[in-house]
Copies of this chain bind each other. A is one copy, B any other.
Amino acid sequence: MRRQHTRENESLRGRRAFDFAGNLSLRARQFVTRRARKITFAAGHVVQLEGDICDSITLVETGEIRVYKVSEKGREICLYHVEAGEACALAIGCALTGQRYPATAKAVGSVTALALPSSLFLELAAREPALSRRVAHLLAQRLLELTTLVSEIAFEDVDQRLARFLLHETDGTAAEVRSTHAAIAAELGTVREVVTRALEWYASNGWVSIGRGVVTVEDRAALRSLFPRETP
């Protein structure tokens, strides 16, 4: 399950963390190899908690980390996923500004990564134009995505946001979203009951069919019609 899926992510899928830095100099690559620590997170491992000091930057090699906010009442909303070849923009942002981590980061499946102390990461970025460009690009990309997320949460109802989510997850050939209603609710910042109600409404219209742990999109055009202005 994946939100905020961008062309940027697409181009990086399957690459390794080392590629985060693109055209690093040989000297810089040796520096990373020498100073970074190889780590593995089991599925569900909490990589970073709200309030943590960001003293290291995690470069994901394989797997995926979900970054989300948790409310006082335990509701969740997904900000983005950090995929192979990426680092967490918020962790870098905290390292840059000295602020504490403002979200929760959790391994989706098992994750392998390189961890580099933040001070060394920033030092390296200051020395290596390729890394500095990559950092600016990553921060910019996440900023643009969060701008979209702000307007979706502020202006769209759950029916629309759920449709957007299902269309996004079934982009391409797959029509099935393998996920529980609770997990979908956690992506959207709402509760299970609201997702179930909306899905049942879609199903009664024949737009989706609902199975155990799976939602199948039957009528993409109908879901898209919930966004009149965007339909060509």
Chain A residues engaging chain B, CB cutoff 8 angstroms = 8, 69, 71-73, 75, 77, 79, 89-90, 92-94, 96-97, 99, 102-103, 125-126, 129, 132-133, 135-137, 139-144, 146-151, 153-155, 189, 228-229
Q: Looking at the complex, which one of B97, B144, B155 makes contact with A144 (CB distance below 8 Å)?
A: B97
13 chain-A/chain-B pairs, Cβ below 8 angstroms = A69-B154, A79-B147, A79-B150, A90-B147, A93-B141, A96-B137, A97-B141, A102-B148, A125-B136, A132-B132, A135-B136, A139-B143, A143-B143
Q: Assuming A129-B126, A136-B96, A139-B139, is B150 touching A90 (CB within 8 A)?
A: no
> Assembly of this chain: how many copies?
2
Return chain B residues, CB-CB under 8 Å to A72: 155, 228-229
Given known contacts A136-B139, A146-B146, what 11 new A-B pairs fall within 8 Å (CB)? A69-B147, A69-B154, A71-B154, A71-B155, A72-B228, A93-B144, A96-B140, A102-B144, A146-B147, A153-B154, A154-B189
Q: Looking at the complex, which one of B92, B93, B140, B153 makes contact with A93 (CB distance below 8 Å)?
A: B140
Return chain B residues, CB-CB under 8 Å to A103: 147
- What CA separation (Å) do A153 and B71 show in the bound complex? 11
- Chain A interface, >50% SS class: helix
Q: Looking at the complex, which one of B71, B129, B136, B144 makes contact with A94 (CB distance below 8 Å)?
A: B144
- What CA separation (Å) do A217 and B79 show in the bound complex? 34
Question: Contact at B135–A90, with CB atoms within 8 Å?
Answer: no
Question: Contact at A151–B90, with CB atoms within 8 Å?
Answer: no
- What CA separation (Å) do A214 and B139 show in the bound complex? 38
Question: Contact at A89–B143, with CB atoms within 8 Å?
Answer: yes
Q: How distant is A189 from chain B, measured CB to nearest CB, in Å? A: 4
> Which residue of chain B has the shortest Cβ distance to A73 in the bound complex?
B155
Q: Looking at the complex, which one of B96, B148, B149, B151 makes contact with A71 (CB distance below 8 Å)?
A: B151
Q: How distant is A19 from chain B, measured CB to nearest CB, in Å? A: 18
Return chain B residues, CB-CB under 8 Å to A139: 93, 136, 139-140, 143
Return chain B residues, CB-CB under 8 Å to A142: 143
Q: How distant is A172 from chain B, measured CB to nearest CB, in Å? A: 22
Return chain B residues, CB-CB under 8 Å to A75: 154-155
Return chain B residues, CB-CB under 8 Å to A77: 150-151, 154-155
Return chain B residues, CB-CB under 8 Å to A146: 143, 146-147, 150
